[in-house]
Chains A and B, each alone.
Chain A
Amino acid sequence: MEQKSTSGLEFSVPSHASMVEQCPLCEFIFPTHENLVFHMMESHPTQCPIETTKEYEKLSITESDKLFIYHLKICSLLMLTFMGLAYVYAFVLVG
């Protein structure tokens, strides 16, 4: 099941897929409703119905929280990397 879109992208839905959400304003399709709401607000912010805008606000708060945790993980990973590297350098330069 393949279709050509105006954006030059091709979409293909796996045969076992249970859900296909179609963007009413362009040819993007998504496996979840959440993805569709995000897409509509990001790609067509001026043409969105009010319900979508409200749904987006709710979803983006949840996502912001997840993103916050994600960024905390990234920052700790950065710190760990720097410390690890500094440790290896110290070890090599002394030894």
Chain B
Amino acid sequence: MKGNFLFKHVSQLFFSITLGVCFLSNSVVAHAGGLPLTNEPAIIPTWLFVLTGGVIIGISFLFVSLVTQRQLIDKINGYHLSLPLPRLPRLNTPILTLVSVFLLLYTILLGFIGPQNPTSNFAILFVWVVWWAGYTMTVYLFGNTWEQLNPWKSLSTILPTLNLSYPSKLGSWPASVGLLFFILIEVGSDITYSPYLLSCVLLFYTVLTLLGSFIYGSDTWFKNADPISKFFRYYGAVSLLTYSNNSINIHLPGTKIMNKTNDAGPPAGHQVLFIITILFITTYDGLISTQFWNSKIIFPLLSFGIPILIIHFIFLLFGHGLFYAIYHYAILIMHRLSSTYISIQSLNMQFAVSLIPIAAGYHLAHFTGYLLTFFPAFFSTILHPLQPPMFYPNHLPFWISIFTLIFILLGHICSVWISHCISFKLFSGRLQPLRSQYPLIFVMILYTMFSLWIVTSPSV
């Protein structure tokens, strides 16, 4: 008991000292972080800056591993700030449905008849800036609203259905393949620039989705096979808000997962694949915009006469497989280190959710600047859909780039915490859960450094 008492006091002392040092070093990093993104000559070289990012994740693990009491972990996860919800007039669901279906049809229409210049077309700005960048942010920050807003789901409920049973063997495969295919089109074609092509793809997706829900039933299709619904469900699982009847609760990102109050459902084998897909596509999106990737990889391959779609297809498949392999290998080592009888497959499923905040943090870092730059253009296309005034993007303030780096680090730190909580649920004692974390932390450190390298390297 004496050892326990001593341990508490010593660790508290160390905790406060190191916390102070950490704050100091954080401000150094933030300062360094902004520099490579500006045109001024960088004082701190990229390698050091990337290394610092990795060190911060390592340090966050060391801090987190000081929290070893299960009651304390539960208390931290149960902590929330309740704000009274103002009594808003309840939004009528049929009205919401009508608005979302109207927006879908309006977007497709303007893609065809609107101006074909991307920065003055409503369809392009609405889909990529408002929906893909902005709306996705609201999902992982505030919670998943796609179940209510999804126009395709609304459309499918009024159509007849054959209600065939969904083959359980398929699992999340159609959703994973769909998401990879979506990214393949996004990076390999002109869909982010050409309103006409965007509308064609939207039409294609509409037909495919309605066909799927016609065969398997609306609920089954959107729950299992629809990539977009699944994508938002997983992002919603790490959001910071929970709503109850008359209050909003603000809590840590992992709370919903630990209390099992998220709507992503219990972990299953095929879901691991989907979560890895989410993580991989956000990274790939960033990777292809770097000068390095374009000049060293894409252009040489293009000069051999290989079509761009094929190049991206191969890299997507290969990269996705590589991500999965690295994660699986980390879990294998975890299984060995923790000497547990829980099967590898189960560990695989349980720890996969801890990767979602990484993807969310990276998404936030990647799209904040983009959203702020192009949102004014979107406004002018609402007012003048057919002939908006010319758009001249403003230069974003310097501090935006600092936030980019903070978001990446925060995402990883949340992941470290969630993974820590999961390990204390699965393994017994206090040392076994801590030791089990080494392989995942190692992978996260490398991944942070890779992400930071991507966002700081010059883009095209």
The interface bits of chain A over 37-79 (1 if a CB of B lies within 8 angstroms of the residue's CB, else 0) are 0110010000000000000000001011111101110110111
Q: Are A20 and B25 in contact (CB under 8 A)?
A: no
B390 in the interface (beta carbon within 8 A): no
Shortest A61–chain B CB gap in Å is 7
18 chain-A/chain-B pairs, Cβ below 8 angstroms: A8-B346, A9-B346, A9-B426, A11-B342, A11-B346, A12-B343, A61-B4, A67-B431, A68-B7, A71-B10, A71-B65, A72-B10, A78-B18, A78-B63, A79-B18, A81-B55, A81-B62, A89-B44
B340 to chain A: which residues have CB within 8 Å? Answer: 30-31
- In angstroms, Cα B10 to Cα A64, docked, is 13
Tell me which of B45, B62, B65, B266 has the highest count of chain A C-beta atoms within 10 A of its own C-beta: B62
Interface residues of A (CB under 8 A from B): 2, 8-13, 17, 20, 29-32, 34-36, 38-39, 42, 61, 63-68, 70-72, 74-75, 77-79, 81-82, 85-86, 88-89, 92-93
A32 to chain B: which residues have CB within 8 Å? Answer: 339
A81 to chain B: which residues have CB within 8 Å? Answer: 55, 58-59, 62
Give the B interface residue count (CB, 8 A).
45
Given contacts A42-B70, A85-B52, contact A64 B431 (CB under 8 A): no
Q: Are B1 and A34 in contact (CB under 8 A)?
A: no
Within 8 A of A (CB), among B332-370: 339-346, 350
Chain B interface, DSSP helix/strand/loop, else mixed = helix
Q: Are B429 and A63 in contact (CB under 8 A)?
A: yes
Q: Are B14 and A75 in contact (CB under 8 A)?
A: yes
Name A82's contact: one of B25, B426, B431 (CB within 8 Å).
Answer: B25
Q: Are A75 and B341 in contact (CB under 8 A)?
A: no
B203 in the interface (beta carbon within 8 A): no
Name B48's contact: one of A9, A17, A88 (CB within 8 Å).
Answer: A88
Shortest A18–chain B CB gap in Å is 12
Tell me which of B1, B267, B341, B430 has the highest count of chain A C-beta atoms within 10 A of its own C-beta: B341
Q: Are B7 and A13 in contact (CB under 8 A)?
A: no
Q: Which residue of B lies closest to A31 (CB)?
A: B339
Within 8 A of A (CB), among B32-50: 43-45, 48
Within 8 A of A (CB), among B312-345: 339-345
Q: Which residue of B lies closest to A14 (CB)?
A: B341
Q: Are A10 and B45 in contact (CB under 8 A)?
A: no
- Shortest 4 CB-CB distances between A and B: which pairs? A38-B428, A39-B428, A12-B343, A68-B7
Q: Which residue of A lies closest to B6 (CB)?
A: A68
B21 in the interface (beta carbon within 8 A): yes
